[in-house]
Structure 1
Amino acid sequence: MTTQTYLAYDFPLLSVLWTMLAFALWVLWFFLLFKIIFDIFRDDDLNGWAKAGWLAFVVLLPFLGVFVYLIVRGKGMGRRDLEQAREQRRQMDTYVRETAVSRPSAAEELAKLAAMRDRGDITEADFQRAKELVLTDYAPQTSAPPTASAPPTATPPPGDGPAPG
């Protein structure tokens, strides 16, 4: 009674690849099985007895049950997946719209600024600057401040032109 011990170098590379393939197919099989079981319970068109029947068929005879379910109800399964995705998207969009912080309108902002100015919380100059920001959609003016330049003259400054003569 000797037991044979297999070491890592006794397991050929092709056997490793076949083992990995078998494991991947096993995982895919369970994914498909659970997807079908969830689809059975998600379907609103089936009554309770039909759901129990399909579930018993898929659990007791899994290969035949899954094969028959995919043939009979496969198109509906894809349609229900699409409807569920659309419903989740609609709910997410609704949630985002309801919870998004909306910016107050310019009129509301100006009313708040006027109230602050009337209470004396801000000066008239601060009010004018804030009003300008509100009216320009909160973006400060990017134009350069006017520079003090000399007005153009008709005669050039002395020493720049031809000598009188």
Structure 2
Amino acid sequence: MDDYPLLNLFWTMLWFFLWIMWLFLLFRVIADIFRSDDLGGWAKAGWLILALVLPYVGVLIYVIVRGRSMGKRDLKEAQEREAAFKAYVREAAVAGDTGGGPPKGRGSVEELAKLADLKDRGAITEEEYRQAKTKLLI
């Protein structure tokens, strides 16, 4: 333990941490190169060669030149995932447990919405709404 002072251990850990961070950034840049729709095949090959042949400089140049569009692509992908999830939840709520419509004896979301609309317009009373809702949900 006397051969390796605490400060040297700190510096070794710092450099190791920075190296791991750079590896994550390198993989992220490579993934962004391949998923980028605005780059052609030769441009993708050029960026990939730059990132692999001159790793530190190539990744830094890529982040400087294309960092803003990289963030926009991430945001667009996150929004698409969220929209797909919401669509799935809507479909699952309408389809019920059987996958082919609401289960026997259970009302669908549309029927409940129609009942709420009738109650809001005053076509049915609160008591009639509760009774119809109970029949749908049983």
5+ residue gaps, structure 2, are: 97-101, 113-127
Write out aligned runs for 1:8-157 (5 A). 8-100=1-93, 101=96, 103-104=106-107, 105=111, 135=131, 137-138=133-134
> How many positions carry a matched residue from both structures?
107
Partners of 1:53 and 1:81 in 2: how far apart?
22
TM-score scaled to structure 2, two decimals? 0.69
Partners of 2:69 and 2:30 in 1: how far apart?
14
Partners of 1:96 and 1:18 in 2: how far apart?
49
Q: Percent identity?
A: 52
5+ residue gaps, structure 1, are: 1-7, 107-131, 139-165
Pairwise CA distance, 1:38 = 0.4
Q: Between Structure 1 and Structure 2, which shows a larger proportion of helix residues?
A: 2
Pairwise CA distance, 1:12 = 1.4
Map of 2:117 onto structure 1? none
Letter matched to residue 12 of structure 2: T
The structure with higher relative contact order (CA 8 Å, sep 6+) is 2
Could you say if the C-alpha distance between residues 24 and 135 of structure 1 is closer, same or farther in structure 2, counting changes exceeding 3 Å? same
Report the aligned-residue RMSD: 2.3
Pairwise CA distance, 1:10 = 2.8
Pairwise CA distance, 1:29 = 0.3
Which 4+ stretches in 1 moved above 3 angstroms?
none
Highest Rg: 1 or 2? 1
Q: Deviations over 1:136-156 (max 9, x none)?
A: 633xxxxxxxxxxxxxxxxxx
